């Protein structure tokens, strides 16, 4: 079999009898937990949030390490856009403020007419 695979006998037995290092065990365990958390949150969390979850479980791991492991596993978070309500809706039955200025912008004295635009204020 070694001849067919073009591998030396000593190389095969070294591979077969190799002991897994503690670092390799820890890496495999972390990758398993990363996969669990990634799929648990529907592929929404990236490395920072998954690193936080792992730290909550008691693992000492950095965001960078989690990010590198996620790249190795081919994981990439998919964040959906937040729902945005359209602000212009002319088809409604709500009361409309009267146009008291009626496009007459020439005022004789100050402090007679106040105009403002509040479209920049976000509403819930």
Q: What is the pLDDT along the chain (124 residues), one digit of tens a residue?
A: 778 888 888 888 888 898 989 999 999 999 999 999 999 999 999 999 999 999 999 999 999 999 999 999 999 998 777 777 666 667 778 887 788 777 777 888 888 887 777 666 666 6
> What is residue 88's predicted lDDT score, i.e. its pLDDT?
67
- Kindly list the domain boundaries of the chain, sorted by start residue: 21-80
The predicted pLDDT at position 29 comes to: 96
Q: How many angstroms separate the CA atoms of 52 and 55, rounded?
A: 5
Residue 99 to residue 87: CA distance in whole angstroms = 20
Note the pLDDT of residue 121.
Answer: 67
What b/e readout covers 80-119, taking b as 16+ CB neighbours within 10 angstroms?
eeeeeeeeeeeeeeeeeeeeeeeeeeeeeeeeeeeeeeee
Distance, CA of 48 to CA of 56 (rounded, Å) = 12
Q: Which pLDDT value is given to residue 86?
A: 66
């Amino acid at each position: 079999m070694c001849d067919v695979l073009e591998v030396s006998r000593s190389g095969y037995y070294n591979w077969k009898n190799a002991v897994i290092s503690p670092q390799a065990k820890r890496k495999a365990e972390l990758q398993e937990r990363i996969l669990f958390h990634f799929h648990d949150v529907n592929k929404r969390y990236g490395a920072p949030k998954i690193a936080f979850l792992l730290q909550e479980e008691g693992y000492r791991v950095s965001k960078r390490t989690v990010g590198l492991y996620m790249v190795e596993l081919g994981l990439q978070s998919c964040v959906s856009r937040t729902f945005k309500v359209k602000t212009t809706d002319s088809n409604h039955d709500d009361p409309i403020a009267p146009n008291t200025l009626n496009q007459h912008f020439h005022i004789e004295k100050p402090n007679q007419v106040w105009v403002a635009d509040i479209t920049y204020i976000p509403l819930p």
